[in-house]
Amino acid sequence: MVVTAYGFVLVSNGLVKLVQNEGSKGDIHAGGPLQFGKGAPGTHVGNLQARGNVTIDTKNTIVGNVKSAGSITLASGSVITGTRTPNTSVPALTLPSLSYSAGGANVTVPPSGTRTLAPGSYGTVKVNSKGTLFLSPGDYYMKVLDNGFATTTGRKEKWTSPASSGAVSSRRGRTSAPSRQSGSGPTAR
């Protein structure tokens, strides 16, 4: 069974932080603060909403609307092309509760290398700098997903790759991946 996380590409019940983003796409919901660190420069295409403050550092372009229960701070050299709505009501989202186990072989993608992964259960999956991990269609269960910028530990991860193959890439601070379903989102650094 695949659970859709409310139409968002990333949902967290806490902080969402992206640093040196080159490019990302999809709506993001943060149950706390939402921060875009200095871009590489970077462009995010999609709407942002946070139950905390939103901070957009320099060299970022947000192609979409930004809604915050707190303030919206936009640094010089950054742009929001849509509407800015600070100090407004942002609903809490109830994240799905998933039950599964993760564990198995560890997988490493070397720097600037590629690797294709079959659906299944894994221990630590590490994507080194400029590496690309291709995912065949199916469900993936991981104890740790580490792309060198964002490491998720202490909770199980489930990724679902769509009917066509997906990829997890680590490129100067950008991680792209198929839809993720978990109890809480990682902090991307």
Give the residue from 41, 6, 40 showing the smallest Cα distance to 26: 6
What is the pTM (predicted TM-score) of this model? Answer: 0.59
Q: What is the pLDDT of residues 17-31, one digit of tens each?
A: 887 788 888 899 999
Q: What is the pLDDT of residues 82-127, one digit of tens each?
A: 999 999 999 888 776 767 777 899 999 898 888 988 888 998 888 8
Domain boundaries, the chain: 10-85, 107-181
